Structure 1
Amino acid sequence: MANPDQLANSLRTRHIMMISLGGMVGAGFFIGAASAILKAGPAVFISYIISGLIVYLVNLSIRDLALDGGPDGGSFMKQIRTHLGERVGFIAGWAYWLTWVVVLGAEVLFGAELLQPYIHLPIVTLEILILIVMTAVNLMSVKGYGEFEYWFSLIKLLAIGVFVAVALWALGRGFFGWGPQVPVMHNILGYGGFHPKGWMAVIAVVPTIFFSMNGSEIVTVAALESEDPDGNIVRITRTIAVRIGGFFLISIALILALRPWTTLDPSQSPFLFVLRQIGVPYVDTFVWAVIVTAVLSSLNSAIYVTSRILFEMAEHKDAPAFFLKVDEKTQLPRRSVIACFIGGVIVVLASTLSRDEIFFVMLSLTGTLMLFNNLLIVLARMKMDAKNQFAPRLACFLLAITFGSMFLVPSTVSQALMGAAAIVIIGIAAYFHNRRLEA
């Protein structure tokens, strides 16, 4: 019989490696890249490098924390608690949980909007139905989550691979005289130069890009339920530079090379736009299917990680002990999974009842909370080891620059302030919570 107090270790290395490869590629990248390009021009490539460097450095810190903690060291959230204290652990846990519950709800909304033209149900009914289906996947077994995420990630990787192959073919046919030549340098430099919007614009779009890359840390939580936690975390970290370069940088470079950046539509996927211009048949259906897959993948992972973080917080008395119950057969924290489902329903209903007020406030919190949790990961790494401080210090500097750049754009100033206010409120709750435990 399974240990009733322990989660399963049924994820295989193939699950972990595929999740690590495709997990950081969400719908935001397939759609949101056009907006970033239009705001910064071709110099957005530098913005992607900066954002990718931050993600890489934070993941190095996660690796070091995991190896220091050993097989029983828990997730990066537990390591924050170990090195920065119980109160900070409370703040980090609830800030992270709140972030991903809101993301979970937002993915449900977006997925329903994509599916409604084909599934003729009221939008709220469709939203709840999507949430029920993906929650059911997470209630089957941890292997069920891993298997679904394996195939979701594979589809996303194949989609990027197809795009890169077609884009290189479009460039190559002109170079070798098999077709029209693409004016690469003119497309990149012919519309105001490399940085037509100025260098401040390059910095200003970093938060948006960084947020679209977030989620790479989820696989380190999943690795704890695998057959080789430490080994898998090391393997994941080794590939992150390749993932950032291969998925984000090459794709953006090809988009910039193939079409004038000024012709992009911020409301449309730049991948769809470029493939249409090349003349690829059935491209609308192809890109739609990929984006739906990316949404379901993000939703699947959001349910998974929020339930595990809630379970871990319950272990440390930061959440009710009710959430510690593990199903004896599947070794799943079913109550935590269902609680996250309820959280997603609340976000969906908030969007339905007050999209421009309550839901907007919820969504506005997530960016600052993501930055805050990344900062705590790096600070925990610095506290863990007084030596080898260059990488975490550089990460702290870049995270501070990213937060500061949110004040360069009017639309993100309110997000920064509301996120900071949420951290203060959670901090006050942590203070009274700790006093109650100590009484």
Structure 2
Amino acid sequence: MSDVNKFGKHHSSDAAESGELSRDLSNRHIQFIALGGAIGSGLFMGAGKTISVSGTSIIFTYMIIGIVLFFVMRAMGELLLSNLKYKNFADFCSDYIGPWAGFFIGWSYWLTWVVAAVADSVVIGGYIQYWYPDLPTWGPALIVLAALMFLNLLTVRIFGELEFWFSLVKVVAVVSLIVVGGVLIAISYVSPNGVTASLSHLVDPAATLPYGMSGFFAGFQIAIFSFAGIEMIGATAAEAKDPHKTLPRAINAVPIRVMVFYVLSLICIISVSSWFAISADQSPFVQLFLVTGLPMAAGMINLVVTTSAISSANSGIFCTSRTLFGLSSAKQAPNMFSTVTRRKVPGASLIFSCLCVSLGTGLLIFIPKVMTVYTIVSTIASVLLIFIWSLILVAYLIYRKRNPELHKASKFKMPWGVPLSIFSLIFFACMIVLLTLEPDTLLALYLIPIWVVWLGLVYFLKYRHVEVKSYKAERVS
């Protein structure tokens, strides 16, 4: 039997009986699972707030973050392919930084996607209110979560197919918006409220930095959360059919695609609607079609963005269940979470994670304002992601110092790896500082030390003496 890794095990014919996951995700599944997680509420809902506070400068915000995260993904890719036994970023963090790092990154990644799924569930309730304004937001959110739990209890291949089509819908939606926006800009369309579609809105002095540099910096919070999901490629490695082909393709393609989708769609939204007509509390995609006097199209887009939020929540639930399964398999979580169903799905991990997401979604009962809850939970997820991405870079720097021969032999080198890793770490430190500038993001930031202290106590009292897995030999040249 193959060794256990943090997110799963190698495939075998008796996988269901031995507690192994099925290796049934193809390249298109992995790419669209990552796209499904990354193109979601951060763009379809969160972009409204980022545009409202940062103005047109938000385009540069997304470009900067996209470039930095591409560096992180390349570092992760080189590490994953440097050793055939690495199946995810928790594995190489344990190997290079220490067992505590694997424990912290594993549990933090689990919480990240629990919180991200809560954020997506929250906006699902908000989207449903477009049609049913008097319906409480928590009702449809919980119904959708129950449906997603059922779908995830199916085989991983069915999940991959469902997520592929879910993600395809949102990609088509973004492309359609870009095409429609491009046409409206080309014909200088005048909306019913008198706004003429024009690229000149992008350089309007009053809209470039409407709140100065403080507004520009404030836009980074939700913008960072918008890119949550691209590292999901590293979490799917254990269930990839051919990781040495699929991972490089996905890593090279997904961050660039996400950045292009975000930048082009934001250019179209601002050019057609103008910065002054964009509300912070609504989806800018829906607003664009409302401003243009096409309410029927707006309703269709709202249906699409609702589907997109469901897709993102679906990706999050997938990651939480696999993360918890891997932690249990590595003896860093209760044993009950390392079991799989007859369909080779980590059922106990999945159900427990969905229950946690449901509890988080219950915040809507006490704080009915969707954007308030969304900002709080997305900030928590952003800080956790910065922590995870930083540990990946630290592990990469140690790898470069400890095993220079592996880097030299690698066929998937991170370009200018050491200086770019250091630059990215400095960038992430600056992002943490920026989160202290806004009251709502600062509130969420206060909660993170509680999580870190709790993890430290649990690790010290229960898991610090747990024998960790060896990753010797079995290298990739």
TM-score (norm 2): 0.82
Q: Which amino acid aligns with 1:2?
A: D
Deviation, 1:231, is 1.3
In structure 1, the partner of 2:447 is 418
Distance 2:62 2:320 in 1: 27
Structure 2: segments with no counterpart, 5+ residues:
1-12, 190-194, 405-416, 468-477
Query: Which letter does structure 1 place at the counterpart of 2:397?
Result: M
Residue 88 of structure 1 corresponds to which residue in structure 2?
Answer: 101
Distance 2:88 2:73 in 1: 13
Give the alignment of 1:200-219 within 5 angstroms: 200-219=214-233
Residue 192 of structure 2: aligned partner: none
- C-alpha distance in structure 1 between counterparts of 2:137 and 2:373, whole Å: 18
Name the counterpart of 1:385.
400
Moved more, 150-159 or 272-281: 272-281
* 1:244 paired residue among 229, 241, 258: 258
**Residues 434 and 19 of structure 1: is their aligned pair in 2 closer, same or farther, counting only changes over 3 Å?**
closer
| Cα distance per residue 1:128-163 (max 9 Å; x no partner) | 332221011111110121111101110001001111
Q: Could you report, residue by residue, the CA deviation over 1:3-46 in whole angstroms, capped at 9, with x for unpaired residues?
A: 32321011222222333444310122112212111211221122
In structure 2, the CA distance between the partners of 1:138 and 1:87, relative to structure 1 (3 Å rule), is: same
Are 1:260 and 2:270 matched, yes or no?
A: no
Partners of 1:122 and 1:193 in 2: CA distance: 35
Q: Identify which of 298, 311, 320 aligns with 2:334.
A: 320
8 Å contact from structure 1 (residues 13, 226) kept in 2? yes
Q: Specify the alignment match of 2:359 in structure 1.
A: 346
SS at match of 2:281: coil
Q: Is the 8 A contact 2:36 2:308 kept in 1?
A: no
3-state SS, counterpart of residue 227 of structure 1 = coil
Shift of 1:241: 4.3
Is 2:413 the partner of 1:400?
Answer: no
- One-letter code aligned to 1:156: K
* C-alpha distance in structure 2 between counterparts of 1:429 and 1:355, whole Å: 34
Of 304, 323, 326, the match for 1:290: 304
Give 1:19-168 correspondences, 5 Å limit: 19-70=33-84, 72-115=85-128, 117=131, 126-168=140-182
Task: Indicate yes or no: 2:382 matched with 1:367.
Answer: yes
What is the DSSP-based 3-state SS (H/G/I as helix, E as strand, rest coil) of the residue aligned with 1:169?
helix
What letter matches 1:426 in structure 2?
L
Q: Distance in 2 between matches of 1:110 and 1:379?
A: 34
- Secondary structure, aligned partner of 2:344: coil
Q: Which one is further off, 300-309 or 81-90?
A: 81-90
- Summarize the Cα distance change of 1:114–1:241 in structure 2 as closer, same or farther, 3 Å threshold: closer
CA offsets per residue over residues 190-220 of structure 1, 9 Å max, x none?
A: 3426334223432232122011211111233
Residue segments in structure 1 that go unaligned for 5+ positions in a row: none
What SS does structure 2 have at the residue aligned with 1:312? helix
Q: How many residues align?
A: 431
Which position in structure 1 is the counterpart of 2:14? 2
CA shift digits 1:44-79 (9 cap, x unpaired): 122111221232122112212211232x31111222
- Partner residue, 2:211: 197
Residues 393, 301 of structure 1: alpha-carbon distance in 2 compared, 3 angstrom cutoff: same
- The answer for the alignment partner of 1:304 in structure 2 is 318
TM-score (structure 1 length as normaliser): 0.89
2: CA distance, partners of 1:93 / 1:21: 21
CA contact (8 A) 1:351 1:359 kept: no
Counterpart residue number, 1:276: 290
**Distance in 2 between the 1:198 and 1:104 partners?**
32
Deviation of residue 405 (structure 1)?
A: 0.9
